[in-house]
């Protein structure tokens, strides 16, 4: 079932698919879906940064502009997840993440748009100032359940779902990061969007580089690459996991997604390209490295990247350019996955580092 809040549909009929293989295949229209975002997201070059780094040509795909209370990669995933929640008759969605979770903020905004209640289990210390994503969570009406940093989040989510059921609600649990086969299918679809843009721009991309954490984005991209015949590399910069763990996680989700979309391919962890050199102090621990990258991207291109995900991934990209990992004539696409409202949650830390 496809529900449109915005008007029009991105899905193609059987007949249209035959005419143009780069439009979204029929299999996607079999998934529950609701339109929540603004697509296609822009794709453009970063000429001043390219020149300053004296390396490959750098391009950017702007999934920070998807909409839903400032945008990000979860908008695509939530179009399918909220679609399924509605199809199952849910009246409430719940999910979990860190206090400054972009995923939670986007889920809260998606729920508001779809007329669903939203409960968020947020892990961390009570902030002295409600700001960044947490501020937006409250603004869009989510109910926040703050839990101690060491809490087992899966158990906390299950317990909350049970409580909501006993209160007479119909809850739908959205996994951490929206990363299951349904959420990842959205990024397989996004590869069709990208291929259309590349065709139109007559552009070949050799590397797609982006922040990878709960694995859904990367899983979807690799499945979409298989479906569209994309020949470049898909390089996830790990934000918080050792390469082996992230490769296994991505391969697992990718296999579930391939199954869902009838893609005859088995993914092995060794097929998944991950760089874990930029984890630094761990999840959410911002250092000078991320701040320098944030400043470089902002000051050369007027583009904002965040301290936790995209700033870390961009720091990795800049370092790889400096190490001559890419050839000068290669085209590298940074897939911006959002997170910009998280910047405000780090105002104090940015001041300390400045
Ligand atoms: C801004 C941003 N970029 C990247 C990611 C990582 O995406 P994934 O969890 O699909 O690996 C997240 C996840 O929360 C995010 O918020």
- Cβ of 177 below 6 Å from ligand 1: yes
Annotated active-site residue 4? The verdict is no
- What pLDDT is recorded for position 142? 98
Q: What angle do CA 314, 320, 325 make, to 5 degrees?
A: 145
Q: Which atom of ligand 1 is nearest to the CA of 337?
A: 3
Q: How many CB atoms lie within 10 A of CB 76?
A: 31
- What pLDDT is recorded for position 22? 67
Mean of the per-residue pLDDT values of the chain: 94
Catalytic residue among 45, 101, 181, 354: 101
Percent of the chain topping pLDDT 70: 94
- Cβ of 217 below 6 Å from ligand 1: yes
- What pLDDT is recorded for position 125? 86
Residues 87-109 have pLDDT tens digits of: 999 999 999 999 999 999 999 99
Instruction: Give mean pLDDT in consecutive 10-residue pieces for the chain, a chain of 354 residues.
Output: 44 44 86 97 98 97 96 98 98 96 98 98 89 96 95 94 97 96 98 97 98 98 98 98 98 98 98 98 97 98 98 98 98 98 95 96
CA distance 293 to 152: 33
- Cβ of 102 below 6 Å from ligand 1: yes
- Cβ of 212 below 6 Å from ligand 1: yes
- What pLDDT is recorded for position 4? 44
What's the chain look like in SS3? CEEECCCCCCCCCHHHHHHCCCCCCHHHHCCCEEECCCCCCCEEECHHHHHHHCCCEEEEEEHHHCCCCCCECHHHHHHHHHHHHHHCCCCEEEEEEECCCHHHHHHHHHHHHHCCEEEEEEECCCCCCCCHHHHHHHHCCCEEEEECCCCCHHHHHHHHHHHHHHCCCCEEECCHHHCCHHHHHHHHHHHHHHHHHHHHHCCCCCEEEEEECCCHHHHHHHHHHHHHCCCCEEEEEECCCCHHHHHHHHHHHHHHHHHHCCCCCCCCHHHCEEECCCCCCCCCCCCHHHHHHHHHHHHHHCCCCCCCCHHHHHHHHHHHHHCCCCCCCCEEEEEECECHHHHHHHHHHHHHHC
- What pLDDT is recorded for position 25? 94
Q: Which atom of ligand 1 is nearest to the CA of 212?
A: 11
The two tokens of residue 151 are 């809490």
Domains of the chain listed by start with CATH number? 37-72+184-353 (3.40.50.1100), 74-178 (3.40.50.1100)
- What pLDDT is recorded for position 23? 80
Residues near 340 by Cβ (< 8 Å), separated by ≥ 6? 64, 70, 71, 72, 304, 305, 306, 310
Residues 169-215 have pLDDT tens digits of: 999 999 999 999 999 999 999 999 999 999 999 999 999 999 999 99
CA distance 46 to 60: 7
Are 73 and 212 a contacting pair, CB within 8 Å?
Answer: no
Kindly give the distance from the C-alpha atom of residue 179 to the centroid of ligand 1, in angstroms, as a whole number: 9
- What pLDDT is recorded for position 126? 84
- Cβ of 106 below 6 Å from ligand 1: no
């Amino acid at each position: 079932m496809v529900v449109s809040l915005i008007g029009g549909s991105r899905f193609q009929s059987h007949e249209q698919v035959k005419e143009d293989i780069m439009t979204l295949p029929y299999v996607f229209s079999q998934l529950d879906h609701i339109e929540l975002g603004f697509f296609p997201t822009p794709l453009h070059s970063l000429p001043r940064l390219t020149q300053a780094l004296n390396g490959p040509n750098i391009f950017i795909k702007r999934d920070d502009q998807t909409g839903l209370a400032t945008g990000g990669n979860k908008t695509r995933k939530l179009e399918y997840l909220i679609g399924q929640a509605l199809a199952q008759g849910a009246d409430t969605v719940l999910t979990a993440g860190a206090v400054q979770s972009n995923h939670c903020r986007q889920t809260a905004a998606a729920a508001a748009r779809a007329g669903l209640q939203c409960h968020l289990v947020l892990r961390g210390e009570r902030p002295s100032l409600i700001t960044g994503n947490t501020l937006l969570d409250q603004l869009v009406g989510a109910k926040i359940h703050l839990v101690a940093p060491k809490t087992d989040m899966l158990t906390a989510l299950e317990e909350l779902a049970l409580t909501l059921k006993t209160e007479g609600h119909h809850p739908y649990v959205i996994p951490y990061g929206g990363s299951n086969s349904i959420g990842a299918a959205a990024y397989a679809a996004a590869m069709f969007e990208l291929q259309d843009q590349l065709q139109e721009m007559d552009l070949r991309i050799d590397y797609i580089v982006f922040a990878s954490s709960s694995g859904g984005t990367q899983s979807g991209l690799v499945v979409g690459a298989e479906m569209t015949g994309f020949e470049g590399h898909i390089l996830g910069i790990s934000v918080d996991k050792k390469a082996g763990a992230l490769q296994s996680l991505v391969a697992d989700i990718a296999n579930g997604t391939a199954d869902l979309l009838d893609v005859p391919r088995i993914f092995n962890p060794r097929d998944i390209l991950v760089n874990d050199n930029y984890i630094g102090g761990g999840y959410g621990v911002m250092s000078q490295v991320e701040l320098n990258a944030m400043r470089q991207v902002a000051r050369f291109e007027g583009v904002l990247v965040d301290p936790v995900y995209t700033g870390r991934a961009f720091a990795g990209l800049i370092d790889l350019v400096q190490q001559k990992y890419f050839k000068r004539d290669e085209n590298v696409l940074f897939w911006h996955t959002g997170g910009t409202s998280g910047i405000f949650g780090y105002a104090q830390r940015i001041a300390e580092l400045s």
